[in-house]
Structure 1
Amino acid sequence: MKYLLDAALDCFLDYIAVEKGLLPNTIESYGRDLRAYIDTLEDLGVRHTDAIPLEAPELHLVKLTRRNLRASSRARALSAVRQFQQFLAREGMAPETPGRKLATPKRAKRIPKVLTIDQIERLLAAPDSRTPIGIRDRAMLEVGYGAGLRVSELCGLELDDLMEDEQLLLVRGKGRKERLVPYGKHADRALRRYLARGRPVLAKSRISPYLFLNRKGVGISRVGFFKNLKRHAAAAGIELEVSPHVLRHSFATHLLEGGADLRYVQELLGHADISTTQVYTSVDTRHLIEVHKAFHPRG
């Protein structure tokens, strides 16, 4: 499946905004770096994503070096290119991943942003439970936090993915890998209310396979959910920049703080590599201090 380069870039920028929850300035920086990469591709005669040659990132790096950019700027630009190419391959827009062998300087892993339990409670209570939209938003927030889903997984849920009796979801993650994820009693209560009082109103006369619908009766988009989430976070008085991924980070962190085994959390999150999950073990130093005080003889 081929895409025009500019269209593919727009898809990637939407992805890092919604799925990754990156800040506007960071997204703008990615956009600048990747538009320069697209200029290089167009100089090579490339117009579509399926025609990007394997050597393209290396040729782009040579071009950046000739412009006398600082090493840090070149490393940042190359990192953006690699992430873009990985996204294209993962989404089926390009057959291979150019630049995968190019070395980039290692950077320290960022500690994920996490909401406190109190902030989560305020966020979940923010939607107006008297309206179909509010009932839907409450259900989406409960499921997003209760199951730790990526925003693409949450918005992509279909009615047939819901196993109400077992309180399980069939989730299709990265690479279309499937996993079963429990979502808990609170999300179950919110979902049942949505299915009874929210979804039928939103669906109108339309037939849609998707679980969560927008005002037009079709599946809600990732961008749509992101906007709703930010609005509810502001209403809840949460100053932290809240993205769908912050809900996922909070899910993982709160499980580990509650004593869950790291490998179970890995399975729930759908991480292929446990090292991806291990970042959550260093999230909340305050919790570590509390544990030390409670259990160490000299704490």
Structure 2
Amino acid sequence: MARRFIAKRGDTPSTKDRRTSNVRRAVAEEYTIKEALEIFISAKEAEGIRPRTVLDYRQHAEYFSRFMENDEFLISEITPERIREYVNYLRKERRAYDGDETRVKDVKGLSVNTINTRLRTMKTMCIFWHGEGMLDYNPMVGIKMMRDDELEEVPGLTDEEVDKVLNSYDEKQFAEWRDKTLVLLLLDTGMRINEAVNLQVEQIDFKRLSVYVSSQIAKNRKRRDIPLSREVAKRLKLLIEETRQYFGSDVQYLFMTAYGEDFSADTFRRRLNRLKRRLDIPRLSPHMFRHTFARNYVLNGGDIFTLQQILDHADIKTTRKYVQMDDEHVRSQHNKFSPVRRLLKRSGRARL
């Protein structure tokens, strides 16, 4: 029977095992950001995340790598101090749309919402890496989301801006007629741009006047039917007929490029950006049509609970944020629903 060698007093099996475990942890394998990212993404893909989310994870990791000025840095170098330096860099130095020549990028500093989105991604990654033993501690534990004095929301378009956009399209040109049809669809349904550009012909019910959004493309992974106005349904039907006439009867997607290729959300964003400069509109993006729909839906008498279902919001608070009223709309609603005006009219003293 082998005899146990005792090198030091008090070296019981339990204390020795603990010390050995600590040594193993101290010399644990170091992971580069690329290695750690692949492990993280592989685990998330096993959970069923979507390809778009994977792209976002990769993009956000690339943003941080640029800040670190090294795409092979070790994740153990991610410290609370470095994260705070990164936040300040995003706030004060990073230019919005840097690298995109089609965007204006004179203003330094990203929006609070954009910075918080990147921090949430980093938080998710660090929680995973710490849980897997790839990090000794979670450097995001003490990092808080940024706060702004005023809640930052994407504004809707004014009625004048909507008219300006719609009247700008030359409907004799297929691409512009398609763009106008897409804008009208967004204004009519409040759909997300990725849901709209990925619509297939079979998702339109022309008899029931509704659009079926499958769980595969819905952001919250819940299928839903969205009511469709007769006028927009008519345009969609004509778009399908013309698209199939140009590119063949087997075309399944509603929105195609003038070359018969897939029409992406990014392509539409670039076209809106060019249109924005031509029309001299301060801001113009696909998401603004969604906010415009939400605001007008409520102004026209729609209830916020139905709106929540149409917009596919899990929380009613999110829906409330979408209904942003400018001063003109606030004055208009006050003038229409003022209790005093009704009181004076009822008492026959409206002239007062």
On the 8 A contact 2:201/2:240 being kept in 1, the answer is no
1:269 has 2:288 as partner? no
| Preserved CA contact (<8 Å) 1:208 1:218 | no
Give secondary structure in 2 for the equivalent of 1:251.
Answer: helix
1:39-78 residue pairs with structure 2 within 5 A? 39=70, 42-44=72-74, 59-64=78-83
User: Aligned residue for 1:215?
Assistant: 258
Q: Which deviates further from its counterpart, 30-39 or 147-156?
A: 30-39
Q: Deviations over 1:206-244 (max 9, x none)?
A: 844322111232220111111223344455x35131000
For structure 2, the 5+ residue unaligned runs are: 1-36, 42-51, 93-110, 126-131, 133-137, 342-352
Query: SS at the partner of 2:78?
Result: helix
Aligned counterparts of 2:277 and 2:231: Cα–Cα separation in 1? 22
1:168 aligns with 2:210: yes
What are the ranges of 5 or more consecutive residues in structure 1 without an aligned counterpart? 17-29, 46-55, 89-95
Residue of structure 1 equivalent to 2:118: 81
Deviation of 1:124 after TM superposition, in Å, equals 2.3
In structure 2, the residue matched to 1:93 is: none
Q: 1:81 to 1:135 in 2, by over 3 A?
A: closer
Specify the SS of the correspondent of 2:172.
coil
Match of 1:36 in 2: 67
Partner of 1:179: 224
Q: Deviations over 1:5-31 (max 9, x none)?
A: 9xx999449999xxxxxxxxxxxxx98
Distance change >3 Å, CA 248–CA 282, structure 1 → 2: closer
**Between Structure 1 and Structure 2, whose CA radius of gyration is higher?**
2
Contact 1:125 1:138 in 2 (8 A): no
Mapped partners of 1:15, 1:44: distance in 2: 18
Partner in structure 1 of residue 145 of structure 2:
104
Give the superposition deviation at 1:34: 6.2
Corresponding residue of 1:128? 170
SS at match of 1:169: strand
TM-score under structure 2 length normalisation:
0.61
CA change 1:194–1:87 in 2 (3 A) is farther
Q: What secondary structure sits across from 2:224 in the alignment? A: strand
Deviation at 1:298, TM superposition (A): 4.3
Pairwise CA distance, 1:170: 1.2
The whole-number CA distance in structure 2 between the counterparts of 1:38 and 1:206 is: 51
Asked if 2 retains the 8 angstrom alpha-carbon contact of 1:37 and 1:60, the reply is: no
Cα distance in structure 2, aligned partners of 1:288 and 1:249 = 16
Q: Is the 8 A contact 2:295 2:324 kept in 1?
A: no
Deviation at 1:277, TM superposition (A): 0.9
Q: CA RMSD in A?
A: 4.3
Q: Distance in 1 between matches of 2:81 and 2:54?
A: 25
